[in-house]
Structure 1
Amino acid sequence: MTEHGTHSGLHTEQGALPDEHSGRGKNPVIKVEDLAWLEFEKPNLVRAETFARAFGFAVAARTASELQLRGSYAGSPCVIIRRGPRSRFAGAAFRAADAKDVMRLANATGARVERLPESLGGTVVDLRDPSGARVRVVSDTHPLPELPAQQPHTFNFGSEVNRTNATQRPPRIPVTVQRLGHVVLQTTRYRQALDWYLDHLGLIVSDFLYYEGQRDRGPVMSFIRCDRGSVAADHHTLAMTLGPRNRYVHSAYQVSDLDSLAAGGEYLRDRGYHRSWGIGRHIQGSQIFDYWRDPDGFLVEHFTDGDLFDNTLEPGWAPMTASGLAQWGPPVTKDFMGIGFGRESIDELRSIVTSLREPNEFDLRRLRGLLKVASS
């Protein structure tokens, strides 16, 4: 078995040991179908829109106080940015199958079902996960129509010839974002938060990661997908990791292919935006990735060619290492790992001191495991 094999080769033989987490809720309240959108607050919507267009979003709606960004696929906006005094992640919205599921979730949690603004339509129930993160579950929102797609290129593979008398010249223009793929969150109450999402939203785990030498203490990261039964879903719609503070880590947006991802990255670089890490291919999820920092410091990812699993696949287990983040590509950067010299790294260092003084899952032994990951 090789270190970077397929999901089956890499993980099936390293499945759960007796009494380890099953990666599923026993009787979830509902089963959400997907992420609907992410919400942010930023003080400068003009600057946010300028980056968003360069990153590949289209503008679905704009007012003096709100910006709705979308991909080319039909459906909901990908991102909603509201004007606020400071830049912050405001929460994630998941899409329920129908209004009955929204009501069922509200009844189970004691929350209220409310109408969303007319610009979005539909109903919503607002909840808080054990980390305090806002979680919205929505249904029956107004569908946005499909936009013109960015077509993938035609490739010649050895003797399989699909292109003759034609050149390959991907233009250096903004890539077209197709859709929102996933969000990654850090929490000081990882196990509590994990179980909350599995039990309330019916999500299921694709892969667990644990600190080397600490598997007996359980996982510290999980890649979690929607349970759509026999219909395949993204390897992860939500990923969660244990850390010294509760925070947004990154969000990911699908594009058509490697050429559009790479050419779109050149377009961003030409305009002075900061590439955090890439281009490479992940192990968990297999996506080809390219990570960027927006002007407010948020980490955002272009990805293509990700794994899709139905509900028959059991979770894989693997140690967490920096070198295990990618099958190929440049070495993981300090900026991506949050150990550079930026504001986020300073905030993370301060939070370590605070977290070790408070009752949560991030204790001294977990800190040692995290530091080992950073140097691995």
Structure 2
Amino acid sequence: MSKTVVPVTDGHQNLHSEHGALRGEHPGRARDPIIRVTDIAWLEFDKPDLVRTEAFARAFGFGVALSAPEQLHLRGTRAGAPCVIVRNGQRTRFAGYALCAADEADVARLADKTGAPLRRLPEPIGGVAVQLTDPTGTPVKVVAGTHQLPAHPAQAPQLANVGAGAARINATVRPAPVPARIQRLGHLVLQSTTYRQTLDWYLETLGMIVSDFLFFPGQRHRGPAMSFIRCDRGATPSDHHTLALTLGPANRYVHSAFEVADLDALAAGGEYLRDRGYLRSWGIGRHIQGSQLFDYWRDPDGFLVEHYADGDVFDNTLEPGWAPFTASGLAQWGPPATKDFLDTNPRAARHQVASVLNALRQDNEFDLNRLIGLLKVAAS
């Protein structure tokens, strides 16, 4: 009696990474998390000059939901809460961020399991929140029931004549030299000296799942050094990553990303920023993990912010991909990653050396071997 042979295929081929996990590697999800968050809500910053902050924000493409002497609320065109809250402060700092729970019952469950108090958020945000702190020390609010700002007119994607069909007839493409209108906050990237502990906290506490792992060159046996993490919405697709974590010599904000309509909006918006003297850090290109079209800029306070379009979305059936962490592997096409983006330029050298020396003196996951791996990333 003959047997039917079922061909085995690699589920990651032509998706987001060419290889899956080896036996015994991190599964990329927790068996029984406390809750499952559904999205990122907003970022929080303290800055001493809100006038300068608002000027850049408008040029970058944000709408302004609230402009007052003590705080600034920035929004996208989609309905929802503000995507950035900036408070007037004596020094510039990233002050934390908020994630959305499915409902107020999940926020109450999280409060009960963690012992953190359930609090009502002030107007004009509304809703309830639990204030947590992740292992890096970053404040993380989990919120539900917030007021929803109405949608604003969105920037329409350009009609494109691609393939055999023609969608644009008797018409030209002339992207207006205007800011790329922000639709929403897409993701946040954080660096951690306790990467594995922090990763597990997000999976076990908030039910997030890993889309892709990266490992330092030659160090796969030591486990991943970066992870792109999405929300688990079951069969409903979610952004390839809402949060990304990377191992490094300091606990810090790396960058945040904001969705725009398409490549034309991203590129024309970049011209608008450049003409006003703002610094492009890296771009334009297309990433590998997540596939986004990207363009990175520095705001006047030095924070790295990204315009992106056309990112991947996955449901919860896709297991993590694994790939080497290399500078050349950050993009499918586009210019090489810059020293500014990689924080290897001379301006950042003194701060980086101080961070490395401090980290090597502490009890954390960033040891000398990991430092060597990180240096190989920038050179590869």
Give me the TM-score of the superposition, normalised by structure 1.
Answer: 0.97
Which residue, 16, 27, 36 being the options, matches 2:21?
16
AA partner of residue 351 (structure 2): D
Partner of 1:48: 53
The separation in 2 between residues aligned to 1:151 and 1:10, in whole angstroms, is 27
Contact 2:12 2:18 in 1 (8 A): no
Contact 2:296 2:307 in 1 (8 A): yes
Q: How many residues end up aligned between the 2 structures?
A: 371
3-state DSSP of counterpart to 1:241: strand
The separation in 2 between residues aligned to 1:80 and 1:42, in whole angstroms, is 10
AA partner of residue 365 (structure 1): N
Contact 2:16 2:289 in 1 (8 A): no
Query: How do residues 185-196 of structure 1 correspond to structure 2 at under 5 angstroms?
Result: 185-196=190-201
**What is the CA-CA distance between 1:345 and the residue it aligns to?**
4.2
AA partner of residue 297 (structure 1): G
Matched, 1:242 2:250: no
Which residue, 356, 364, 378 being the options, matches 1:352?
356
Query: How do residues 157-306 of structure 1 correspond to structure 2 at under 5 angstroms?
Result: 157-306=162-311
**What is the CA-CA distance between 1:216 and the residue it aligns to?**
0.6
Q: Structure 1: which 5+ residue stretches go unaligned?
A: none
Partner of 1:370: 374
Q: Structure 2: which 5+ residue stretches go unaligned?
A: 1-9
- The structure-2 alpha-carbon separation of the partners of 1:61 and 1:133, relative to structure 1 and needing over 3 Å to count, comes to same
3-state DSSP of counterpart to 1:46: helix
Matched, 1:108 2:92: no
Q: Deviations over 1:229-256 (max 9, x none)?
A: 0000000000000000000000000000
Contact 2:229 2:241 in 1 (8 A): yes
Contact 1:244 1:355 in 2 (8 A): yes
Contact 2:238 2:315 in 1 (8 A): yes
Q: Deviations over 1:61-113 (max 9, x none)?
A: 12211000000000111100001111110011001111111111111111001
3-state DSSP of counterpart to 2:106: helix
Matched, 1:63 2:68: yes
The alignment's C-alpha RMSD in Å is 1.3
The separation in 1 between residues aligned to 2:226 and 2:185, in whole angstroms, is 21
**What is the CA-CA distance between 1:9 and the residue it aligns to?**
3.2
Partner of 2:365: 361
**What is the CA-CA distance between 1:26 and the residue it aligns to?**
1.3
Matched, 1:339 2:344: yes
The separation in 1 between residues aligned to 2:218 and 2:179, in whole angstroms, is 44
AA partner of residue 146 (structure 2): T
Contact 1:172 1:263 in 2 (8 A): yes
- The structure-2 alpha-carbon separation of the partners of 1:265 and 1:362, relative to structure 1 and needing over 3 Å to count, comes to same
3-state DSSP of counterpart to 1:9: coil
Q: Deviations over 1:295-343 (max 9, x none)?
A: 000000000000000000000000000000000000100000001122x
**What is the CA-CA distance between 1:161 and the residue it aligns to?**
0.8
Q: Deviations over 1:28-76 (max 9, x none)?
A: 0000010000001100000000000000000011221100000000011
Contact 2:157 2:261 in 1 (8 A): yes
The separation in 1 between residues aligned to 2:324 and 2:13, in whole angstroms, is 16
Identity %, equivalent residues: 65
The separation in 2 between residues aligned to 1:55 and 1:311, in whole angstroms, is 33
Moved over 6 A (4+): none
